[in-house]
A and B are shown apart, each in its own frame.
Chain A
Amino acid sequence: MTSVAAPGRARETDTAAPARPGRNRMSRKHREWLAAGLFILPDGLGLLLFVGIPMLLSIVLGFFQVSGFGSYEWVGFGNYERMFQDPMFWESMKITGIYVVVLVPVLFCVSLALGLLMKQRLPGTGFFRTALFLPYMISLAVVGLLWKFMLDDQVGVVNKSLHALGMDGESWLGEPALALGTVIAIMVWVMMGYYMIIFLAGLQEIPSEYYEAARIDGAGPWTQFRSITWPLLKPTSFFVLIMSTVAAMTGGLDLIFTMTQGGPANGTSLAIYYIYTQAFGFGEYGYASAMGSFLVLVMVLFSAVIFKVTGSGRFDDDR
């Protein structure tokens, strides 16, 4: 065999290579199959057991009433009927809707602005980038506790600073609508550095010759942004939009948990938090699964709309 194929020569297809006689009864092709199977086995099994089966189970569980340890009772669409009549669930869906619709665009604009800012090669850019990325490194549990401390009505540094400037403080986490706004602002604070880096990567892939040509033609910064940056950044924008939407619809549980516990008056009770409390607070695993499946359905539909509206972030359309 070594005499047939010189070592070091790259060959694309060698399925027809002769089987090595004697030493190994399996043909080379079959040895490759076996090796591949064994290499994939640990992860394949794990993904099946801890991702695939749970995914199927989440749909199945929605049709059962699960009580205590391991007793299941088929209830058909009972959980879904209950869901449609549960005002708390719809309230949490409404809050999730507001949360997503405000958070995603704000996060998008802030991150894009920061990406553009970091591209200007200002003095100290390295430091700015480090500072802006830092909140992403910290767990949401810690972020929640830290901001809860800083936003305290009476003794928090935010209100104290406002008082020092002669302004009235706000009950940042004490009034439902304001608390939701506060949660959104903190999520922007956490995530903007990460998406900034992604936008920056996209921006750096745009050839600088385009900008030079535009400048020679007398295009100002706004024209340059509209006719070069925005169209060429579309794949990145699309990626950020989808990622942040999915993250917003199903994430943030840790922050809500340590900062507001869904309050005040359920003002920050996102759907995922309501589902969590139904499952692990009240043991309503079946009902919670039904709501979870519904949330996934909404998320998929929402993502499909984004795909449709943005044309999956391709360059070629005119807007």
Chain B
Amino acid sequence: MTASNPVAARRRLTGRAGLTVLAVLMSVITLFPFLWMVTSSFKTRATVNDGKLIPTEFTFDNFVYVFTEVDFGRYLFNSFFVSAVITVVALFFHSMAAYALARLRFPGREKIFTLIFATLLITAPVVLIPLFMVVRQLGMLDSYAGLIVPAIFNAFGIFLLRQFYLGFPRELEEAAIVDGCSHWRVYWNVVLPMSRPILSALAIFFFLANWNAFVWPLVVTTDPKLQVIQTAIAQFASQSSSNYNYILAGTMVAALPMIAVFVFFQRQMVESIKTSGLK
């Protein structure tokens, strides 16, 4: 396997060097826009379009502006609150349903699972209009409930958790049931603590998806107080079309929490995409 032929070895080495250059080039293409966003958000209005990477006049004013003149603090809070509530409630409900579908025996189990699985095929933008009608009928337009409740229900999480529970050691729950624990106690004291790794991995993705959600919050709210950061930045941008120093500070505020999440949980996220994407 090891190259005994020096010519072949050298050729392989140049090949690898070429591939490394290609990888560097691709990374620059993906990273440059972010770098540009970061440095431009520290430029003044006069220099934001000067085409230089390093700001000639460095200023924090853009960030001060979006938090004082525009209510970005509130929008950030709304995004955090909505995303966090959806994530926690969704994981709780999904793990309960998934546990029952994977481990409890009852008539019609496979039928119910197939039905839930079928909803995976329905993509969100397609049901946007009728979902809006349903939520309007329930009187949840322009409320936190309207932002939160419809976003909780998603078969993807149930599906992944069910896969996880199918591979669970049965002995533990059996022992607990035989000892006279109710199914609820088994779930709460045995199953839930043991699902912490998968729940935390899913939590990252749920939070990410809801933090970045744009279309549903746009449709369901008109009250400026209920704006989430993504719709707020879009609206702010359309109102101040040439003040890119402010807009970019806004996009930084909207993007930074997810970049931070990514930096901290990168390995975990990559691993869970690898397993969940296919199984």
CA distance A61 to B127 in the complex (A): 11
CA distance A52 to B134 in the complex (A): 11
Choose from B93, B212, B248, B270 the contact partner of A138 (Cβ within 8 Å): B212
Q: Could you tell me the dominant secondary structure of chain A's interface residues?
A: helix
Q: Are B128 and A137 in contact (CB under 8 A)?
A: no
With a CB–CB cut-off of 8 A, which chain B residues contact A10? 170-171, 174
CA distance A264 to B60 in the complex (A): 35
A187 near B: Cβ within 8 Å? no
B7 near A: Cβ within 8 Å? no
With a CB–CB cut-off of 8 A, which chain A residues contact B1? 212, 215-216
Q: Are A189 and B233 in contact (CB under 8 A)?
A: no
Complex: chain B residue closest to A198, CB-CB: B277
A228 near B: Cβ within 8 Å? no
Complex: chain A residue closest to B183, CB-CB: A35
B88-123 CB mask vs A (1 if < 8 Å, else 0) is 000001101101110011110100100010010011
With a CB–CB cut-off of 8 A, which chain A residues contact B234? 141, 145, 257-258
Q: How large is the interface on B (under 10, 10 to 19, 20 to 34, 35 or more residues)?
A: 35 or more
A168 near B: Cβ within 8 Å? no
Give B132-149 interface residues, CB cut-off 8 Å to A.
132-135, 149
CA distance A197 to B261 in the complex (A): 18
CA distance A32 to B254 in the complex (A): 46
Q: Are B131 and A54 in contact (CB under 8 A)?
A: yes
CA distance A141 to B182 in the complex (A): 47
CA distance A63 to B277 in the complex (A): 37
Q: Are B278 and A8 in contact (CB under 8 A)?
A: no
Please judge, given known A-B contacts A57-B130, A132-B26, A149-B40, whether A1 and B119 are in contact too, CB under 8 Å.
Answer: no
Please judge, given known A-B contacts A10-B171, A120-B16, whether A42 and B97 are in contact too, CB under 8 Å.
Answer: yes
A250 near B: Cβ within 8 Å? yes
Choose from A50, A138, A139, A289 the contact partner of B150 (Cβ within 8 Å): A50
Give A42-96 interface residues, CB cut-off 8 Å to B.
42-44, 46-47, 49-55, 57-58, 61
* Number of chain A residues whose Cβ lies closer than 8 Å to a Cβ of chain B: 100
A5 near B: Cβ within 8 Å? yes
Give A246-266 interface residues, CB cut-off 8 Å to B.
246-247, 250-251, 253-254, 257-258
With a CB–CB cut-off of 8 A, which chain B residues contact A51? 119, 122, 127, 153, 155
Which listed segment binds A: B17-25, B69-77, B193-201?
B17-25
B237 near A: Cβ within 8 Å? yes
Please judge, given known A-B contacts A138-B212, A253-B125, whether A146 and B37 are in contact too, CB under 8 Å.
Answer: yes
CA distance A42 to B153 in the complex (A): 9
Choose from A142, A198, A296 the contact partner of B255 (Cβ within 8 Å): A142
Q: Are A40 and B96 in contact (CB under 8 A)?
A: yes
A1-41 CB mask vs B (1 if < 8 Å, else 0) is 11001011111000100000001000001011101110110
B195-222 CB mask vs A (1 if < 8 Å, else 0) is 0000000000000100111110011000
CA distance A55 to B126 in the complex (A): 8
Smallest CB separation, A51 vs chain B (Å): 5
With a CB–CB cut-off of 8 A, which chain A residues contact B261? 137
Q: Are A251 and B262 in contact (CB under 8 A)?
A: no
Q: Are A138 and B255 in contact (CB under 8 A)?
A: yes
With a CB–CB cut-off of 8 A, which chain B residues contact A295? 126
Choose from A61, A135, A197 the contact partner of B130 (Cβ within 8 Å): A61
B258 near A: Cβ within 8 Å? yes
B64 near A: Cβ within 8 Å? no
Q: Are B37 and A43 in contact (CB under 8 A)?
A: no
A310 near B: Cβ within 8 Å? no
A183 near B: Cβ within 8 Å? no
A301 near B: Cβ within 8 Å? no
CA distance A272 to B99 in the complex (A): 36
Smallest CB separation, A116 vs chain B (Å): 9
Choose from A50, A239, A257, A279 the contact partner of B278 (Cβ within 8 Å): A239
With a CB–CB cut-off of 8 A, which chain A residues contact B36? 146, 150, 157
Contacts A23-B180, A254-B214 supplied; 13 other A-B pairs, CB < 8 Å: A2-B179, A35-B104, A54-B130, A55-B119, A117-B26, A120-B16, A125-B23, A128-B24, A133-B262, A201-B277, A212-B1, A250-B125, A285-B133
Top 7 A-B pairs, shortest CB-CB distance? A35-B183, A139-B212, A155-B49, A46-B153, A57-B130, A39-B100, A201-B274
A-B contact pairs, 26 of them (CB 8 A): A7-B174, A9-B174, A36-B100, A39-B100, A40-B97, A40-B100, A40-B112, A43-B158, A50-B150, A52-B119, A54-B127, A54-B133, A55-B127, A58-B127, A134-B30, A137-B259, A137-B262, A138-B212, A139-B258, A141-B214, A142-B255, A149-B244, A197-B273, A197-B274, A246-B123, A258-B237
